[in-house]
Chain A
Amino acid sequence: MRWLAPDPELTGWHLSVGRLSWLAASLALVIAPHASRMPSWIPLLFALLAGWRLWRAHRGDDRPPARWLVAAIALAVLPGVYLSYGTLTGRAAGVALLTLLAGVKLVETRGLRDAYVVSYLGFFLVITNFLYEQDIATGLYMLAVVVVMTAALLALGGSPGRSPAMAVTTHLRRGAVMVAQAVPLMLALFVLFPRIPGPLWGLPRDAHAGVTGIGDDMSPGNISALSQSDAVAFRVEFQGTPPPPAERYWRGPVLDVFDGRRWSRGERPASRRPVPFERRGPPLDYEVTMEPSGARWLFALDLPAVPPPGGVMTRDLEILAGRHLRERLRFPMRSYPDYGLGADHPGTPAWVVSLPVGAHPRARALARSWREEAGAPGAVVQRALAWFAAGGFVYTLTPPLLPGDPVDDFLFGTRAGFCEHYAGAFVVLMRAAGIPARVVTGYQGGEVNPLGGYMIVRQRDAHAWTEVWIAGAGWVRVDPTAAVSPLRVQEGLDAAIPPTVGAAGLTITPAPAVTDAFRRLRQAVDAVQTRWNAWVLGYGPERQRRVLSEMGLDASSYGTLVLALTVTVALLLAALAAWLFARRGRRDPVLGAWDAFCARLARAGLPREPHEGPRAFAARVAARRPDLAAAVSAVADAYVALRYAQTERDPEILRRQVADFRL
């Protein structure tokens, strides 16, 4: 079995302290970003194991640690991870196990094979970081880590044995050069490698932990919880001018069932077609890029005309994606801001007027009195909004708790609430007055980024408003929050809520110039982030097809892609090879001329012996061919002068002499 026999070319290979340090350093760098996500004992144990191994190597102790000790550590790791995570599978526990495995492996690493295993474990740990973060900073950091790991690989693969430890910077520079040479090929592979819509197998349950967004229902507190978050909900690129702030209502789940505290969606058979609506004005065309929310809801401006590819539209013009948003989704939309919906009939079941039996007696009484006094539904709506505007209501992120009847307590007691309080209470009042009404949740607002020419809608723009049905006009959007705090709708949350931090009452009001500069910086960062999201993170099967069809390639056939990929990679490799080998041609012109001269004499039967210097050779040639004596000695003298004399001479002299030399 020659294959398994030790390779004599590798017998001198020794895991020197230098090589070991490269391995330990690259592992430490790749584990560092994980450290904050793990129980602290895991990175600590890794550091201990790596430190122990380095310390022993430093003392020249190359013996493997006792086998039972390694086995004991390896066995202790499993229950340790299980105790910390409650499982041994999944993303978090898997990364913890890999980290500790790298530590244990480092401890027992001695030979070449072990060293490569450790190095490959490092590469694998790089990819686990991307399961958590894929932003630009992570990308750049990991690029630097890959350069270090390449340098480590150079240290492993370089001359074995006692070769002088190459300086750290030399290795790093060579590593960086090689990574730079690999980048064009990587780009070709990234663009052309056929993308498959994943997943290939099941994802661990915690694969997408921690994503938030608007949910399927609404109760006091859950939208105000979102308003604390600066996270981007989605970004929008308009083809024309974006609508004014007051019209930026991004429609989400429509809630029409109320149990006295919680609003939810009624039973809606999927087969029900969207209610047709009257399109009055010109449409707005735009593209929405949703961040992964973990839910299926997509958001579009009131009112969306058709569902995006792969999505469906419900009867109440909500849009659902084909599957849960585990990754960023980009979809085109068309909306009609000026519309008439359900003018002749509410088009919805009777529960749009129903209320929980016996609940909210005071609200019902108030609504009934309005109905009796005002008469027409439109007038009742106006009465209610006026009542909100004049009733001493406060718009606040931190409303007091409503332990009793949430509607009556809010309307007649605390009078302090967030949009979900106002929308919910308003719909209760309308229904009590006999007017069909429902809650619409979604986002309101959006900040235009002048650098990217797109709009950012953040989680803090989450909002709830209402729709009331008025015969002849249909479903009309009414935003009771606007009656209480017009600034919320006009200028967004920052303008509507004074910058007071919680109960501490501490007020921090930054100077306007500072906030402005900060806002511009944030916009610049977001513009870069958006390109990154679209072109790097969002480069899936969909975008690949579009990009390649713009290049004239039919991306739907894998054959075409593979052919294009092969040709591109071959061309790039050939170009790199030509560049690498061309440097071979850059040689000493003096030596080149001398070699050419010797080669010509060798062809004439007068080869220069390896031991012969130029003058000895010339003398021998002169003895054999007296006719050439003068010319040969002239060339030899010129060569010697150029090669060994201290003074600078023009190599051209020798070249011309060789060219003129005739046998």
Chain B
Amino acid sequence: MTAAATAAAPAGTVVLTRKRVYILPTRQGLAFAAVLAVMLAGAMNYNNSLGYVLTFLLASLALVSLLHTYRNLAGLAVSARPAHPVFAGGTARFPVRVDNPGGPRRDGVVLSERRAPGDVVLHLEIGPDSHAQVELPVAAPSRGWRELERVCIASRAPFGIFRAWYRVPVRVRTLVYPHPAGDRPLPASLAESREERGHGGSGREDFAGLREYRRGDPPRHIHWKAAARGDLLPLKQFEGAATGNVMLRLADVYGAHPEACLSQLAAWVLEAEARGMHYGLELPGVRLDPATGPAHQDACLRRLALYGNES
């Protein structure tokens, strides 16, 4: 996570100048203040000089810790890059880099998207003249653009009585494909009939081997017998005969909820790609000619992701 040396910060970096860091006492800090108030009242009542000394020492310690907490963030440089596209319901992982140019060692720095309940919180420790490179997982619940407008970088070190934070405007986004779902069979290929293909995977498909299951793969290609032997989900791959052209049309899945239609289309795209077929996509106003390969798959999924809210 921590590299020994760092180069100059990349473009789009936000440096946490001193003006940008906010700081407030935490609940523990407020409780500490209350304890100090009681101690001060006690010292006054008993005219206890060492009581005064202790109260003032602790109050000074709190002020000193404020500077330390503040220093834990000040001067850090934060940048983020777009994450790889994910399917809806999955987790987008945004690469975030935190540079510590020439500063002291930073301990107890935490990074999250919004510090909201359920947010993943990453804990960083960054040495002097070094940087931390992490992937911030954020939930991508629905298709479309998932924006990571800001990341919240915070620190309560050393005592936990103050929390310094800044919501860094990183402004990166990633594409969220529709969640592939739906059990409708692939539409008949332009060259063959659905009945010929059947459901059991008979006849014209040649079993080509196993690979690991990835989200979006058609569940019916999971090799359940092999799965029972190990912990990975093996996926049967086919090639050869099933290279027919298929046109995936929104019109073919009408009737269901619009999002469910897009999910079905996404599932078809994955299935067709897994089978090595040539497939095209037809949405209202959009037509992608049949082709195959990862780039084509991404292009199709991208159309599905942005369908209706292209921007």
Contact = CB atoms under 8 A, between A and B. Distances in A.
B54 A179 contact: no
A8 B119 contact: yes
A123 B52 contact: no
B102 A588 contact: yes
B129 interface: yes
Contacts of B161: 157
Contact of B158 (A127, A154, A587): A154
What class of interface size applies to chain A in its complex with B?
Answer: 35 or more
B121 A536 contact: no
Interface in B267-285: none
A585 interface: yes
B115 interface: yes
A125 to B, nearest CB: 11
Contacts of B45: 198-201, 203
Contacts of B8: 594-595, 598-599, 602, 608
B71 interface: yes
A138 interface: yes
Contacts of A581: 18, 71, 74
B224 to A, nearest CB: 37
What class of interface size applies to chain B in its complex with A?
Answer: 35 or more
A52 interface: no
Contact of B57 (A146, A587, A643): A146
A193 B51 CA distance: 13
Given A586-B102, A591-B129, A190 B52 contact: yes
Nearest to A134: B50
A8 B121 contact: yes
B239 interface: no
Contacts of B154: 9
Contacts of B129: 587-588, 591
A127 B42 contact: yes
Interface stretch (A65-73, A158-166, A239-247, A452-460): A158-166
A576 B67 contact: yes
B169 interface: no
B61 A130 contact: no
B159 A580 contact: no
A198 B47 contact: yes
A608 B13 CA distance: 13
Given A156-B160, A159-B107, A138 B50 contact: yes
Contacts of A124: 35, 38-39
Given A12-B123, A580-B67, A120 B35 contact: yes
Interface in B70-122: 71, 74-75, 79, 97, 101-104, 107-108, 110, 112, 115-119, 121
Interface string B150-181: 00001011111101000000000000000000
Contact of B32 (A120, A134, A163): A120
Interface in A179-215: 179, 181-186, 189-190, 193, 196-201, 203, 207
B63 interface: yes
A117 B105 CA distance: 29
Q: Which of B38, B41, B46, B128 has the most CB of A within 10 A?
A: B46
Nearest to B152: A9
A196 B44 contact: yes
A254 interface: no
Q: Is the interface of A mostly helix, strand, loop or mixed?
A: helix
B117 A8 contact: yes
Given A6-B117, A9-B115, A154-B159, A539 B49 contact: yes
A190 B5 CA distance: 46
Interface in A121-143: 123-124, 126-127, 130-131, 134, 138-139, 142
B190 interface: no
A178 B55 CA distance: 15
A397 interface: no
A540 interface: yes
B125 interface: yes
B52 A153 contact: no
Nearest to A207: B46
B159 A573 contact: no
A187 to B, nearest CB: 8
Contacts of B46: 131, 198-199, 203, 207
B220 to A, nearest CB: 38
A11 interface: yes
Contacts of B296: none
B177 to A, nearest CB: 26
A8 B118 contact: yes
A591 B102 contact: yes
B49 A537 contact: yes
Q: Which of B60, B61, B79, B158 has the most CB of A within 10 A?
A: B60
Given A189-B59, A199-B45, A158 B117 contact: no
B31 A120 contact: yes
A645 B50 CA distance: 57
B96 to A, nearest CB: 12
Contacts of B251: none
Given A8-B121, A181-B64, A607-B10, 9 more contacts: A8-B112, A138-B50, A153-B158, A185-B60, A198-B46, A537-B49, A540-B49, A587-B102, A591-B101
Interface of B: 5-11, 18, 27-28, 31-32, 35, 38-39, 41-61, 63-65, 67-68, 71, 74-75, 79, 97, 101-104, 107-108, 110, 112, 115-119, 121, 123, 125, 128-129, 154, 156-161, 163
Interface of A: 5-9, 11-12, 112-113, 116-117, 120, 123-124, 126-127, 130-131, 134, 138-139, 142, 146, 150, 153-154, 156-161, 163, 174, 178-179, 181-186, 189-190, 193, 196-201, 203, 207, 326-327, 536-540, 569, 573, 576-577, 580-581, 583-588, 591-592, 594-595, 598-599, 602, 607-610, 612-614, 643
12 contacts: A7-B115, A124-B35, A124-B38, A127-B55, A131-B48, A139-B50, A159-B125, A197-B47, A201-B45, A203-B45, A207-B46, A584-B71
